[in-house]
Amino acid sequence: MAMEVNQTVLLVDMDLKYPKVHWYFDFQVKKGLRDFILSDTPLSEILVNPGIERLVVLPGRGETSMGSSEMLTGPKMQQMIEEIKNRYQSRIIIFDMPPILASDDVLASLDYYDAMLLVVEEGGNKPDEVKTALQLLSDKSLLGTVLNKSENIPAEQKGYY
């Protein structure tokens, strides 16, 4: 998405219990979303450019946070959401959340998101869990579902992709 010349992307690590976005981009986190919420650290001191043009990361901080749903729904977080949504018109904001059934963080913060994408892990999510997640998101704009960590591609699906 960041490769599109008409937009920028902000990736926000909203998994305050087990933040990992920084790990995927291989950078150390000095300050993260938790610092913004609890210590009034300005966003400008937290945002990281991981070396990909037009991509900015708002990392979590590499430590477990208790009371994450309370932090995600507090006035400081609401202020931040409004600020990042309104700052750039051509920016796509991706909120990386914890699994929907693992905690109440996703449900507590549903009003922040314009649309959702459900990620399902092959072999990791049971059909009943997927059904429950879809029911919880039934009144939200669901863009679709991504099958993650798939190893078994049916022969008729193999090809260019």
Q: Where are the domains of the chain?
A: 1-99, 115-161
Q: What is the mean pLDDT of each run of 10 residues along the chain (161 residues)?
A: 82 90 88 88 91 91 72 89 84 91 89 91 90 92 88 68 55
Topology of the domain covering 1-99:
Rossmann fold (3.40.50)
What is the dihedral sign for C-alpha 66, 68, 69, 71?
A: positive
Indicate the helix (H) or strand (E) that contains 57.
Answer: strand 55-58
pLDDT score for 63 = 61
